[in-house]
Amino acid sequence: MYLKIHKDKYSEVVAICDEDLVGKTLEEGNLVINISERFYKGDKVNEEEASKILKTALNVNAVGEESVQVCIKLSLVDEKNVLKIKGVPYAQIITT
């Protein structure tokens, strides 16, 4: 998996995706997601490393089976709230 943290002075977003999805665009009906290197390709992490960061994340974009499963295991998102685009799981977690 790749994990990248985007920070500005007001917020932080953790982008995590399965390694094989970087650079792809998924389209299905009105749903389109561009899994760009600029946004998603950060450090390669395993589940344990990802979990440490995701546990404290307030905002997360997760794409792919492995990445979304980590979020589900941590109870960051319920499986019923995960979208699938071309069969690929996608979850956005926003904490207010």
Residue 48: domain span:
2-94
Q: Which domain CATH number covers 48?
A: 3.30.1860.10
Question: Model's pTM, two decimal places?
Answer: 0.93
Helix (H, G, I), strand (E, B) or coil at 56: coil
Q: Tell me what pLDDT residue 36 has.
A: 97
Of 65, 58, 62, the residue nearest 3 (C-alpha)? 62
Q: Which amino acid would we find at residue 3?
A: L
Q: What is the pLDDT of residue 37?
A: 97
pLDDT tens for 30-40 read 999 999 999 99
Residue 32, classed as helix, strand or coil, is strand
Q: pLDDT digit string (tens) for 73-94? A: 999 999 999 999 999 999 999 9
What's the total number of domains in the chain? Answer: 1
